Amino acid sequence: MSRVLVPCHVKSTVALQVGDMRTSQGRPGVLVVDVTFPNIAPFELQEIMFKNYYTAFLSIRVRQQSSMHTAAKWVTCLRDYCLMPDPHSEEGAQDYVSLFKHQMLCDMNRVLELRLILRQPSPLWLSFTVEELQIYQQGPKSPSLAFPKWLSHPVSNEQPAPRLEGLPDPSRVSSEVQQMWALTEMIRASHTSTRIGRFDVDGCYDLNLLSYT
Amino acid sequence: MLQEESDLSLIIAQIVQKLKGSNLYAQLERQAWSCLQRPEIRLESLKEDIKEFFKISGWEKKLQNAVYSELNVFPLPSHPSAPPEHLKEPLVYMRKAQGSWEKRILKSLNSMCTELSIPLARKRPAMEQKELLNKWNEMGTDEPDLSLFRPVYAPKDFLEVLINLRNPNYENGDSLSFRTHLGLIQVPLKVKDIPELKECFVELGLNTGQLGIDDSTQVPPELFENEHVRIGQKVLAQQDSAAAQQYIRQGSPTALRAELWALILNISSQPEDILYYEQLKTNVIQHDLLVDSLIYKDVKLTASNDDYYFVFEDYLYQVLLCFSRDTSVLGHFAYNSASPPKSYIRGKLGLEEYAVFYPPNGVIPFHGFSMYVAPLCFLYHEPYKLYQIFREMYVRFFFRLHSISSHPSGIVSLCLLFETLLQTYLPQLFYHLREIGAQPLRISFKWMVRAFSGYLATDQLLLLWDRILGYNSLEILAVLAAAVFAFRAVNLMEVTSLAAAEAVLADLSTLKVMPLLQIFLFATVT
């Protein structure tokens, strides 16, 4: 399934905190990140990809255009998605994550804006966020990838030729041969990754010092 | 993170890619071609007929074992956008620490070259090659002057690096009120607690038969041992890697151990493997490396001084020298947080087409490295077989004991697991030792780095390594280290210095591994 990167603008993070920020001793446990799409909204979202940095749970709200006559509305499409199984230890803390539209609680049509709500309940971490955020929409289907129907399913409109005694069914044989051909092409296209075991260069392995780069 | 559906297809694609470059693939292809020649094969059922042929002729089982082997080694499928360094180690500060540590090692090696005016590598003159070939089987009798060489580093140097490991995003400053960890390791990795360990190591439970306990002379062999041996023979007859791995969780009979380990590691010695080993030997004869002297020095300092292992001195030289020339070992750096050192052919500095790895396998030996090979000499008598087993053990397990990573079987996690177990279940002992400056990890670290090789009696060590292979995990090393402290707790509570504590724990050669593990894990009140 192909995808196309959607240009987006990631706004500054807003910390949700009770009381006066300047005097509070605690660190915020909830951050809000708004993502807008100045030149392309509305669009149909396919995938959200990012690198985690110590965010434990993620919720996402989406603002969608419903119709020409009604104001856009906010809908929760992801609720408390777990990024760190244990918020107090580092598993998943710096993982790459992809979220697809089939994982969302609502459809992802006509997206105008996204709001990412990041939560980290553990006081052990000095900061948390998401990095390298990328939004994708579905790309066009490539016609060259699709086999024409007549090629993969040969159908004869003529009167079937009389089957010779003892010969296999010709349509089944041709189907098997096509599969064999496809497999052969697939194998030919991929290259083996085997090393040949040499460590020298043209028989020479005279070395003075190690390199630091 | 990816969902399970994509995970599975990703795993399949990666395993296929890996196996396609293997000897097995060529063999399967050859067999398939010969199958096509048979008169009963029909074109319309070609795929099914080949599958059936593979099953009947036993090749399906070989393929299953190869896939199972890859699954044991292969890291979890990574996100397609994750760069290669993320696959090696997901946490940035761990990668930086490993990078700094590597740089220190490189500087140490370069200093040695400069001080001794010795090149890293050179081609041997023809006369020298002939001389080495003549004494290949008795290199132990050679007494080169190694006084100028010193180990690049020892476990205690590595421990200092781990002690200073810090996560810059971790609040471990003033607030002692939340989750205090008094140990030397100050990184917040996830480690298992005893209930979780009990679940993982359920086959070690008090109600399960166990070699190392139920094969002692006081226990009639009819109760467990005889049946266990019979099952082991059946497992070997089946030649099933997964079954063998499950089986040795209860211990491997001495007579069957070599074959069982080879089956689990998917090692079968083909003519190609013997040729490969001979090629490595040729590379040793032709090229002289500085690491050769480090290997000689290490064998002399460790195994040759050990009552159990000195008889295997020549084997150790052969295996370790060949290992240093084996470029197939470079493959494990895809999932090892470490990276192979780099150098340039003399006179070609900076030209990438003349860049090479040094040593050829990318692994620089440290003090005690040869003890990874030594116990295997009891099991395998042909050098090429011994070599294959060691190489596979290294790229599955041993590399994790001397590189900095967040992996659950990595040395950092093992240290943290050891300290957490001790602090949780023997808090008075932990506190007492800490107060007198005898932090427990300073004593147990060297045991874990060497997987207890050279510290336990050999029969006990092999029972322990059975469980490493059986569980595909090194975590049992940390559990055993904690169990040893628990066993000697009464004496340790009376010591007043680090030296005295070390004296109490100086000799582990009389310890019985399985009773210690069983008592610590399953007799503990939780």
Model confidence pLDDT, tens digit, residues B173-217: 655 545 567 899 999 999 999 999 999 999 999 888 899 888 787
pLDDT of residue A156: 47
| Half-sphere exposure of residue A179: CA atoms within 13 angstroms, side-chain side | 11
Q: How far is B80 from chain A (nearest CA, A)?
A: 9
For testing the chain B interface, which of A205, A206, A211, A212 should be mutated: the one with the most B CBs within 10 Å?
A205
Q: How many CB atoms lie within 10 A of CB B335?
A: 20
pLDDT band at B425 (very low <50, low <70, confident <90, very high): very high
Distance from CA of A81 to the nearest CA of B (A): 11
Question: Residue B126: what pLDDT?
Answer: 94
Q: Strand B342-344 relative to strand A210-211: parallel, antiparallel, unpaired?
A: antiparallel
Residue ranges and CATH numbers for the domains of chain A are: 3-14+26-138 (2.60.120.260)
A158 pLDDT above the threshold of 50: no
Kindly tell me if the per-residue pLDDT of A179 is higher than 90.
no
- CA-nearest residue to A206 within chain B is B122
* Whole-number average pLDDT of chain B: 91
For residue B18, the surrounding DSSP H or E stretch is helix B4-20
Shortest CA gap B344–chain A (Å): 6
Please write the tens of the pLDDT for every residue from A53-85: 999 999 999 999 887 778 888 999 999 999 999
| Pairwise pLDDT comparison (B42 vs B508), residue with the higher score | B508
A90 and B179: CB-CB below 8 Å?
no
Please determine, for residue A180, whether its predicted confidence score (pLDDT) is greater than 50: yes
What is the rounded average pLDDT of the residues B218-237? Answer: 90
DSSP state of B526: -
DSSP letter at B226 equals H
Give per-residue pLDDT as tens, B429-457: 999 999 999 999 999 999 999 999 999 99
Beta bridge partners of A204: A201
How far is residue B200's CA from residue B218's CA, in Å, rounded to a whole number?
29
By C-alpha distance, the chain A residue nearest B18 is A193
For residue B351, which phi and psi values (nearest 5 degrees)? Answer: -85, 115
Please, which residues 122-151 of chain B have a Cβ atom closer than 8 Å to chain A?
A: 122-123
A26 interfaces chain B, CB cutoff of 8 Å: no
- Residue B276: closest C-alpha in chain A: A197
Res. A189: pLDDT tops 60: no
Residues in chain B: 526
Q: Which of the pair, B219 or A153, is modelled with greater confidence?
A: B219
> Is any Cβ of chain A less than 8 angstroms from the Cβ of B187?
yes
Beta bridge partners of A116: A33, A60
Query: CB-based contacts of A210: which residues, under 8 Å, 6+ apart?
Result: B106, B109, B110, B120, B341, B342, B343, B358
DSSP-derived 3-state class of residue A135: strand
Which residues of chain A lie closer than 8 angstroms to B123, CB-CB? 204-206
CA distance A65 to chain B (A): 29
Residue B34: phi, psi to the nearest 5? -65, -30
- In eight-state DSSP terms, residue B37 is T
Give the Cα separation of B281 and B259 in Å (integer).
Answer: 25
Q: Choose the closest CB to B346 out of A92, A197, A206.
A: A206
Query: Closest-CA residue in chain A for B23?
Result: A194
From A125, A199, A211, residue closest to B169, measured CB to CB: A125
Q: How far apart are CA B286 and CA B343, in angstroms?
A: 19
Q: How far is B397 from chain A (nearest CA, A)?
A: 21
